[in-house]
Amino acid sequence: MRFRAKIVDLACLNHFSRIINTIAKLTKTCILRLTVCKLYFILSDKIANGGASMWCELSQGNFFDEFQMEGVAAEHNEIYLELVPENLSRALKTAHSAKAVKIKLTNKHCPCLRVAVELPSLSSSSRIVTHDIPVGVIPRRMWNDFREPSVPDFDVSIYLPVLKTMKSVVERMKNLSNFIVIEANLSGEMNLKIETDLVSVTTHFKDLGNPPWASEDGCQSFAQGRDLESMAEACIDIKKLQQLLAGQQVNPTKALCNIVRKRIVHFILLHEEVSLQYFIPAIA
Amino acid sequence: MPLSAPPPASGERYLLSASLDNARHLSSLLRAVHFQDHATCFATASGLRVTVEDAKCIQANAFIQAEIFQEFSVQEESVMFRINLSVLLDCLTIFGTSSLPGTSTALRMCYRGYGYPLMLFLEEGRVVTVCKINTQEPEELLDFDFCSTKVVNKIILQSEGLREAFAELDMTSEVLQITMSPDKPYFRLSTFGNAGSAHLDYPRDSDLMEAFHCNQTQTNRYKISLLKPSTKALALSCKVSIRTDAQGFLSLQYMIRNEDGQICFVEYYCCPDENITEAEL
């Protein structure tokens, strides 16, 4: 098992840091899966974290100038590591004016991701700041726990409103209630609702648009034959939604959510080089 | 552009109904008196008064006169209810607190009467938020009986002169001592904290002093923890009037200009701290 990679371009480095910051806001620990072409940050709902799960995927070629990976075995040319993304985020914080960042998997006393940040220096030799981030190696037999979740059989799929507005509203609602109801229909309408003994607040978004998913046979559009006005709703932990929105530092190219009424809300946030899926289960 | 709220059922009219193009005109004033969760709202044809009290010693009032609103109507002589001010503020600022140029949240407020919730309709961009906040039985409010005939000492200062002083008050001191006098030190703020005592004097001929009417030397102490929240009102205001009566009751009146240049007032009343003897003064 070997892994070494290098980022030289400052824009790529900042972009990579932003992604790690977003992941760090969502979960305390996660799985980093390395393949020849991609990196994945995975949170499985099997781990105790309130049932939310996450799948974040990026192409290594968009970020790294050098990327060498040798997996656990030839037929399974991948590496699965458990890590605390906040550690990686903190290491990368020191790199905002770096000349280069090298990441390497080491095993001196215990498995670590060694992040070496080469900083500019007035003298001829560079300054290097090294962070050793402890990681856990996930054995091959457990890899099945971390497969890509399938898109659920949703009742409604809708584009999210402007994230800034949604973030403000959800942050205020979080002061008022622990749970929030998201409901939406196939006519581009979404409501966010909270209700307690003291207060009820509903925010109405209109004209959001519904993504054009095709139905299973690929011939019909998803919306055909369905009641366009009928709302699908799910009541979820408001903190999870607030964390997802707070972690979005840059506006995604596409942001949408799929609602399975009373079961789960599936968020998909697409940026140019990275896709993030986040599943929040409904509260019974 | 006022929002249209649905009329109440059975043709009754709302007891209180108001529209405001910029909800910040209301929320920023309410924040200046937000030191307790609960507030009493009192509306008459002249406008809205929101009162917050603590410890039976301090009372803050925010006045938003009817002219500030685009529409303001009260069906009876007066309407009064108690409401959770933290919740009200979260609702009024649902779209965030940062003021982007050109954007504002429009507000419509409706109250049907005793036992009904306060309804808020807020709109920004084309997004609408509807809030229903439960109201409670109003409690009796303190009456400081502070009228201009009973005032012994009065000064009016430009707020910028006091802002830094109040923001940096030594909070390890239990009291804030205020001395007002026709003679030196004229106007003095004192604290007695862990590191020692601190005195801040304002001469009567200072540029910051807009009016100085002190007839008698008075020194009074007030619990600093009760007065500290008034810093919020001070931060928003351009001028402050400081008055005391013969019993040492303190009135602080803050003149606040909103984003549109309209004037509103916030006042704080505070009882003097009883736990001091004449010998200490």
Of A145, A178, A208, the residue that ends a domain is: A145
- Asked if A100 and A161 sit in the same domain, the reply is no
Cα–Cα distance between A107 and A111 in angstroms, integer? Answer: 4
Of B147-151, B177-181, B200-204, B206-210, the least confident: B147-151
Chain B interface mutation, best of A191, A203, A205, A207, highest count of B Cβ atoms under 10 Å: A203
Q: Please answer whether residues A274 and A60 qualify as being in contact, where contact means their C-beta atoms are separated by less than 8 angstroms.
A: no
Q: For residue B5, is pLDDT > 70? A: no
CATH no. for residue A232? 3.70.10.10
- Asked if A89 and A164 sit in the same domain, the reply is no
**Residue listed under structure tokens 């909800």:** B23
Please state the ipTM of this predicted complex.
0.87
Residues A109-118, mean pLDDT to the nearest whole number: 94
Cα–Cα distance between A171 and A148 in angstroms, integer? Answer: 30
Shortest Cα–Cα distance, B259 to chain A (Å):
22
Q: Does A208 touch chain B (CB under 8 A)?
A: no
Cα–Cα distance between A272 and A61 in angstroms, integer? Answer: 13
Let me know if residue A167 belongs to a domain: yes
List of chain B residues whose C-beta atoms are within 8 Å of the C-beta of residue A175: 86, 90
- Asked if A170 and A127 sit in the same domain, the reply is no
Let me know if residue A235 belongs to a domain: yes
| Cβ burial B214-248 (10 Å sphere, 16+ → b, else e) | beeebbbbbbbebbebbbbbbebbebbbbbbbeeb
- Asked if A13 and A139 sit in the same domain, the reply is yes
- Asked if A87 and A170 sit in the same domain, the reply is no
List of chain B residues whose C-beta atoms are within 8 Å of the C-beta of residue A199: 84, 87, 91, 131-134
What local confidence, expressed as pLDDT, does residue B102 receive?
72
Shortest Cα–Cα distance, A165 to chain B (Å):
6
- Asked if A245 and A163 sit in the same domain, the reply is yes
Q: Please answer whether residues A103 and A91 qualify as being in contact, where contact means their C-beta atoms are separated by less than 8 angstroms.
A: no
> Could you tell me which residues come within 8 angstroms of residue B229 by beta carbon, excluding any fewer than 6 positions away?
B33, B34, B35, B60
Backbone φ and ψ for B18, nearest 5 degrees, come out as -145, 150
- Asked if A160 and A138 sit in the same domain, the reply is no
List of chain B residues whose C-beta atoms are within 8 Å of the C-beta of residue A197: 134
Give how far Cα A5 sits from Cα of A32, A116, B119, Å: 14, 11, 57
pLDDT bin (cut points 50, 70, 90) of residue B167 is confident
Of A119, A145, A171, the residue that ends a domain is: A145
Question: What is the number of domains present in chain A?
Answer: 2
Q: Please answer whether residues A203 and B129 qualify as being in contact, where contact means their C-beta atoms are separated by less than 8 angstroms.
A: yes
What local confidence, expressed as pLDDT, does residue B1 receive?
38
A5: buried, middle or exposed (CB in 10 Å: 19+, 13-18, 0-12)?
buried
Backbone φ and ψ for A242, nearest 5 degrees, come out as -65, -40
What's CA A202's distance to the chain center, in Å?
27
Residues A248-257, mean pLDDT to the nearest whole number: 88
pLDDT bin (cut points 50, 70, 90) of residue A73 is confident
CB contact under 8 A, B95 and A169: yes
| Cβ burial B140-153 (10 Å sphere, 16+ → b, else e) | eeeebebeeeebbb
pLDDT bin (cut points 50, 70, 90) of residue A222 is low
CB contact under 8 A, A201 and B130: yes
| Side-by-side strand order, sheet with B16-20 | A232-237, A179-184, A190-195, A199-205, B127-133, B118-124, B106-111, B16-20, B71-74
Let me know if residue A182 belongs to a domain: yes
Let me know if residue A150 belongs to a domain: no
B214-271 confidence digits (pLDDT tens): 999 999 999 999 999 999 999 999 999 999 999 999 999 999 998 889 999 999 999 9
B179-188 confidence digits (pLDDT tens): 999 998 999 9
Mean pLDDT over all residues of chain A? 90
Domain that includes residue A117, residue range: 2-145
3-state secondary structure chain A: CEEEEEECCHHHHHHHHHHHHHHHHHCCCEEEEECCCEEEEEECCCCCCCCCEEEEEEEHHHCCCEEEEECCCCCCCCEEEEECHHHHHHHHHCCCCCCEEEEEEEECCCEEEEEEEEECCCCCCCEEEEEEEECEECCHHHHHHHCCCCCCCCCEEEECCCHHHHHHHHHHHHHHCCEEEEEECCCCCEEEEEECCCEEEEEEECCCCCCCCECCCCCCECCCCCCCCCCEEEEEEHHHHHHHHHCCCCCCCEEEEEEECCCEEEEEEECCCEEEEEEEECCC
Give me the domains of chain B, ranges plus CATH numbers.
16-136 (3.70.10.10), 151-270 (3.70.10.10)
pLDDT bin (cut points 50, 70, 90) of residue B278 is very low
Of A121, A145, A169, the residue that ends a domain is: A145
What local confidence, expressed as pLDDT, does residue A21 receive?
92
Q: For residue B58, is pLDDT > 60? A: yes
Q: What is the DSSP string of B227-279?
A: HTTHHHHHHHEEEEEEEEETT--EEEEEEEE-TTS-EEEEEEEEPPPSS--GG
Let me know if residue A151 belongs to a domain: no
Structure tokens at B36: 């307790």
CB contact under 8 A, A175 and B133: no
Percentage above 70 pLDDT, chain B: 92
B83-139 confidence digits (pLDDT tens): 999 999 999 999 987 766 678 899 999 999 999 999 999 999 899 999 999 999 998
Q: Please answer whether residues B210 and B237 qualify as being in contact, where contact means their C-beta atoms are separated by less than 8 angstroms.
A: no
What local confidence, expressed as pLDDT, does residue B60 receive?
97
Q: For residue B276, is pLDDT > 60? A: no
> Could you tell me which residues come within 8 angstroms of residue B102 by beta carbon, excluding any fewer than 6 positions away?
none
Residues B179-198, mean pLDDT to the nearest whole number: 93
Chain B interface mutation, best of A165, A170, A172, highest count of B Cβ atoms under 10 Å: A172
| Angle, CA of A30, A34 and A37, to the nearest 5° | 135
- Asked if A82 and A170 sit in the same domain, the reply is no
pLDDT bin (cut points 50, 70, 90) of residue A215 is low
- Asked if A225 and A122 sit in the same domain, the reply is no
pTM: 0.89
> Could you tell me which residues come within 8 angstroms of residue A43 by beta carbon, excluding any fewer than 6 positions away?
A26, A27, A30, A31, A49, A52, A53, A54, A55
What's CA B35's distance to the chain center, in Å?
10
